[in-house]
């Protein structure tokens, strides 16, 4: 039993003996594509034309999450102490996660010794 492999150009769908897997690099990343000799020549010409633009451009990185100002720190107490006090004082506070700045401020007002150092 014989098998016949038909190579097809990924750009124009042409079949041919000159179609082969072709690797190329852009911005340090390697890609592969099945191309005929003609389309591979076109690809290389395009990459050569782009090269001066890429070499002279500056990469724009996606914006990250903005940094919020650090939450008010308390002196001599834990977050567990703040949560327990808030619950006893009927102040809404999450069981886990970030404690709001308003809750910290209320705790510090009720506990002047917890005032953070500036």
Question: What are the tens digits of pLDDT across the range 79-91?
Answer: 889 999 999 999 9
Average pLDDT over residues 86-108: 88
- The structural domains of the chain, with segments of one domain joined by +, span 1-60, 79-114
Domain 79-114 matching CATH 4.10.320: the answer reads yes
Q: Which of 51-55, 57-61, 81-85, 112-116 has the lowest mean pLDDT?
A: 112-116
Q: Is the pLDDT at 48 greater than 80, yes or no?
A: yes
Whether pLDDT at 78 is above 90: no
Burial 80-116 (b: 16+ CB within 10 A, else e): eebbebbeeeebebeeeeebbeebbebbbeebeebee
The torsion angles phi and psi of 25, rounded to 5 degrees, stand at -120, 140
User: Whole-model pTM above 0.85?
Assistant: no
Class of domain 1-60: alpha beta
Task: Confirm whether 1-60 and 79-114 share one CATH topology.
Answer: no
**pLDDT over threshold 70, residue 117:** no
Return left, alpha or beta for 114; rule: phi > 0 is left, psi -120 to 50 is alpha, else beta.
alpha
Q: Which residue has the higher pLDDT, 115 or 67?
A: 115
The yes-or-no verdict on residue 2 having pLDDT over 70 is yes
- Nearest CA among 104, 23, 22 for reference residue 70: 104
């Amino acid at each position: 039993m014989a098998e016949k492999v038909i190579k097809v150009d990924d750009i124009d769908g042409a079949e041919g003996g000159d179609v082969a897997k072709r690797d190329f690099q852009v911005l340090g990343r390697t890609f592969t594509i099945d191309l005929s000799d003609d389309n591979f020549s076109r690809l290389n010409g395009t990459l050569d034309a782009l090269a001066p633009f890429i070499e002279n451009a500056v990469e724009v990185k996606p914006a990250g999450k903005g940094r919020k100002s650090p939450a008010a720190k308390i002196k001599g107490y834990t977050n567990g102490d703040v949560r327990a006090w808030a619950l006893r004082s009927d102040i809404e506070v999450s069981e886990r996660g970030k404690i709001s700045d308003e809750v910290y401020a209320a705790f510090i007002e009720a506990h002047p010794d917890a005032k953070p150092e500036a």
